[in-house]
Each structure stands twice: as C-alpha cells, then as structure tokens.
Amino acid sequence: MSSVWALGLLFFVKSIEIVQSRCSKSQYESGPGYWLKCSNGTIADVSNEEGLSAITMLNSNMKYISANSFIKHRGTLIVLNLQNCEISDVHPLTFSIFPKLKKLSLSHNKLQHLSNSWFADIPNLEQLDFTYNQIETIQTDFFKRIPSLRLLSLDGNHLNCLNPKELEPLGSLAKIRILENPLSLLCRQKLTLWLKDHGINYWNEGPIGMESWLDSLLWRCAIQSDLIANSEEKMRQCVVLGMFNQFREAVVNLQDYQDIKNTCVRERKAFINSLIDSKLPGEILTNAGVIERMIGVVGSVLINN
C-alpha cells in the first residue's frame, strides 16, 4: 500500500512541475526597462517585478483581467501580450491611463464582446490584436479613444459586420486584418470599399488573391442598382452570376473551345432541364438560382468522387 501512495505522490508532484510557471526576464531591446516572459504564469509573477517595459504571458489560466492586474507598470509599459490565457472578460478600468503602451495583444482568448469602456486613456496605442477570439460584437465608439492606432487585427472571430463609420476616428490606421469572419456580403462590400478608398491595407501578407477578385465583384454589383446594394439575397445572386460569367468567358477563350462545345450536347441539355424541373412549387427560378444549383450538383459530385 505504501508503494501505491508513493507512486501517487510522485505523479502529483510531476503534474505540478509540468504546469508550473516559467518566467524569464531580459533587457527590453527597443528601449529602457525589462521584458518579462512567462508561460503558465500568474498576475503575481508580474506584480513582483519592477521596471517592466514589456510583458508576455502565454498559456495562463487568467480568465478575467481585473482593474489592478497591471496597474503597477502602467507608467512604463510599452508592450503587453496576453496570448492563449483563457480570457473571457476585462474590467472597464484595466487599461486606463497607460500613456506609453504601444502594442496590446489579447489573441487566442475567449472574448465575445469589445466594450468601449476599456480604453480610457491610451493615446499612443499603435497595434491592437484580437485575433482568434470569439468576438461577435464591437460596441459603438470602441475606437474613439485610440486615435494613434496603425494596425488592427481581428482575424478568426465571429463578426457578421464591421461598420466602416466606427473606423473613422482611426486617422492613422494603415492596416486591418479581418479574414476568417462570417461577414455578410453587403457588409464586406461597404467595408472593403471604404478601406480601399482610404488607402488602408486589408490583405494578408503576400500576393493579392481571391479576396481581391471577390471584393471587385461585390463593388461592381453594388453600383448596378440600389436594389442589389441593399439586399443580401440580391447581392449573393449578383455574385453568383458574376462568377459564372467570368468562368464562361475563360472557357470560351480556350484554344480548343470549338471542339469542346460540340461534345455532349444532349447530356448538357438534359442536365439543365433536370435543374429546372427540380424547382419547388411556386418558386421563381432565376438564372442565378439555376447556376447555384448547378454549382451545388457539380460540387457534390466532386466531393463524393
């Protein structure tokens, strides 16, 4: 029995060792002061230090940031990075009066809402990173108190829309990252056009790809009519038709198109008729509707084969 207890105690001790806080302190390379880096750390690790210009905390079970969490360093702090710390809520006064703070990252946490009470006085904040949270809403006037912001990262959240009017106070904004959000087509059209008109980069690093193509299509659809510009359904249909027309134009310009168009004529007609016959009673079938069904059928065939 004693050996069983001994093994159990050893396992418990080893488990504690695995999750124990590991912190290192080094000179902050971009200025005076020190950089504290902690894995599985706590607020106590931060409170016990002096003269910190940068703090990085990774993989901590923090959950909530209180008003006094970093108050000791608010006069010296330039960089604050709290990544993968299970944070789901922030006290309204947590980031009040941080005159030197330039970079704030709360990426890979569990935030669902951004409150405009968080930033009472951070006049020099230049980079703000909320990537890979669960953000669904951003309160009106959230960006009003951070006029120096140059980089805003919101990739990987649950935003259906970001009103460009909310970004107007950010006169210094140069880049925004907002991929992997379920933006509506109407919202995306208005947002990306506003960003383009204001010279704000919203691409990921590297060559411009599908995003550029889709946004150009959205912009063209919006100027066709007010009906399209104000209807998510009409916008979606316009995008589908635009996709099809571009694809058709590419096929027509193939060198062997003349040979292709005379093959499988009967089968192509039968396929189109089957799509038309599949419409529901009372349903008005548009060109866009037929094309959507065609894409769906072709996609399912490709997936299942």
> Between residues 53 and 248, which one has the greater pLDDT?
53
Amino acid, res. 62: M
* pLDDT, tens digit (0-9, with 9 covering 90-100), for 77-89: 999 999 999 999 9
CA–CA gap between residue 145 and residue 124 (Å, rounded):
10
Count of all residues that appear for the chain in the document: 305
Contact between residue 121 and residue 143 where contact means Cβ atoms under 8 Å apart: no
pLDDT at residue 301 greater than cutoff 60: no
Question: What phi, psi does 35 have (nearest 5°)?
Answer: -115, 115
Q: Write out the DSSP string of the chain.
A: -HHHHHHHHHHHHHHHHHH--EEEEEE-TTSSSEEEEEES--HHHHHT--SEEEEEEES----EE-TTSSGGGTTT--EEEEESS---EE-TTTTSS-TT--EEE--SS---EE-TTS-SS-TT--EEE-TTS---EE-TTTTTT-TT--EEE--SS--S---GGGGTT-TT--EEE--SS---HHHHHHHHHHHHHTT-B-SPSSS--HHHHHHHHHHHHHHH-HHHHT-HHHHHHHHHHHHHHHHHHHHHTSTTHHHHTTSSHHHHHHHHHHHHHTPPTT----HHHHHHHHHHHHHHHHHH-
pLDDT at residue 261 greater than cutoff 90: no
> Residue 70 corresponds to which tokens in the numbers above?
């970093």
What's the chain's average pLDDT? 84
pTM, rounded to two decimals? 0.80
> Between residues 71 and 15, which one has the greater pLDDT?
71
Homologous superfamily, domain 23-205:
Ribonuclease Inhibitor (3.80.10.10)
CA–CA gap between residue 34 and residue 25 (Å, rounded):
7
Contact between residue 277 and residue 270 where contact means Cβ atoms under 8 Å apart: no
Strand partners for 37: 24, 56
CA–CA gap between residue 37 and residue 44 (Å, rounded):
13
* pLDDT, tens digit (0-9, with 9 covering 90-100), for 66-124: 999 999 999 999 999 999 999 999 999 888 889 999 999 999 999 999 999 888 878 89
Share of the chain above pLDDT 70, in %: 78
- Which regions of the chain carry the CATH code 3.80.10.10? 23-205
CA-closest candidate to residue 116, choices 83, 146, 85: 146
Mean pLDDT comparison of 9-18, 216-225, 246-255, highest-scoring range: 216-225
* Radius of gyration for the alpha carbons in the chain, expressed in angstroms and rounded: 27
CA–CA gap between residue 27 and residue 29 (Å, rounded):
6
Q: Counting Cβ atoms within 10 Å, is residue 151 exposed (0-12), middle (13-18) or buried (19+)?
A: middle
